[in-house]
Copies of this chain bind each other. A is one copy, B any other.
């Protein structure tokens, strides 16, 4: 008899769960990239049925017993880490009563569905009625999780996306950003206001944009044997590590938004495609956290993608496809892709003003979940913070203010900080790679990214969830998360 039979039972169960997750991921991708509208109800029901099954399998009493018994079994390092991640998944799922899971899913789905029409209609009254229900249930969830973890309600939600992170630590990190970013932003805007740039002139046919995107993906090492590029209204990276599905959206009049969307999602995709093959199907092989995931997409899009060297490398491919034009002169093209322009919409924001959007949301959602403010307080706070950060008023403009994001509609409180944590991780990682690879800038200019990607593979991708976020970053960069690198990056690029 094996001396780790409880652990073996667990790996079989988690392999089974990952197979169901495979079907869920592909059907989910299909829903956004392929499915005709008439399939919506049946697809929703099918995915919900599978979700219930997955929850039942994961929270089965036997799983709890195996987890307990496996603690005293003879496991090697990776197995112990896998057990830790299994336990984390089990506890997160088993904590909540099934009635709350179901009520939250229903309220979230209702709020999200209505939001799709309420947002364009600027209908805050209608939206806030649904959102109140979502917030009520998310607070219940947060309270239950907080009691088990011994932390604040918001920290308990944060932990789902970003294990290791607390709002105390976030407050310190963001306080630091707040101390220098507004000033830096102002100086960049002033500087750029003195430059005159030429905008690219379309139309840029969709089929040609797609070819360009595919070429960029190839250049960035995307494995087409294990993934695809398609179209969806909201770009995302989905699928499974063996078959990663990224999407973008095209606008005939706008060349760069689809292209950099593809570069961004390719960063997510390469992380997924290079997770540890020998552990696929087990929790230890999953991507570490949402912030580390965002760090990879921002590494590709911002650190690498909008660097001078990479932009120069892209230009010939663009000119070959769309012909030469004044906007495609080296200097203009680089400056155009490094424009900084504070605006209302987070997903359209440049990397200098992006943190303002995130910190604003973080402060509001934390206060909301901890019960310090109510849903009705959101528009006023939003307006106040947008004025303070970016000098923009959102009074009465809910559509481009507090109704612009999908995250809160289904209760995804705790996700937003990942974006700015990701940006900071990305800057720190890029600097570490540059230190480790003295030839890096020259290689990038020649379109040779192999050393850079090998570095990412060795330091991030191949580890999956083996280490905590802090361990991962310390091993890769020699120190804990430090916003200094993000500041240096912005200063160097923009001032």
Contacts and interface: CB of A to CB of B under 8 A. Distances in A.
A23 B38 contact: no
Contacts of A223: 38
Interface string A141-161: 000000000000000000000
A20 B50 contact: yes
Contact of A243 (B43, B227, B243): B43
A38 B228 contact: no
B240 A36 contact: no
A176 B316 CA distance: 70
Given A22-B43, A26-B30, A225 B50 contact: no
A38 B240 contact: no
Nearest to A239: B39
A7 B437 CA distance: 69
Contact of A50 (B23, B37, B228): B23
Interface in A37-75: 37-39, 41-43, 45-47, 49-50, 53
A22 B39 CA distance: 10
A34 interface: yes
A27 B22 CA distance: 9
Closest 10 CB pairs of A and B: A39-B243, A38-B226, A22-B46, A19-B49, A38-B225, A19-B46, A42-B242, A23-B23, A39-B242, A23-B46
Q: What is the total number of copies of this protein in its complex?
A: 2
Interface of A: 16, 19-20, 22-24, 26-27, 30, 34-39, 41-43, 45-47, 49-50, 53, 223-228, 239-240, 242-243, 280
A34 to B, nearest CB: 7
A23 B53 CA distance: 13
A45 B19 CA distance: 7
Contacts of A22: 42-43, 45-46
Given A16-B49, A50-B19, A50-B23, A42 B240 contact: yes
B23 A243 contact: no
Chain B CB within 10 Å, residue with most, of A38, A39, A226? A39
A224 to B, nearest CB: 6
Contact of A30 (B30, B224, B225): B30
Contacts of A41: 242
A27 B42 CA distance: 15
22 contacts: A19-B42, A19-B45, A19-B46, A19-B49, A19-B50, A26-B26, A26-B27, A26-B30, A27-B27, A30-B30, A34-B34, A35-B243, A36-B227, A38-B226, A39-B226, A39-B239, A39-B242, A39-B243, A42-B240, A42-B242, A42-B280, A43-B243
Nearest to A16: B49
A37 B227 CA distance: 9
Which of A46, A225, A240 is packed against the most chain B CB atoms within 10 Å? A46
A13 to B, nearest CB: 12
A226 B42 CA distance: 11
A47 B26 CA distance: 12
Nearest to A243: B39
A435 to B, nearest CB: 34
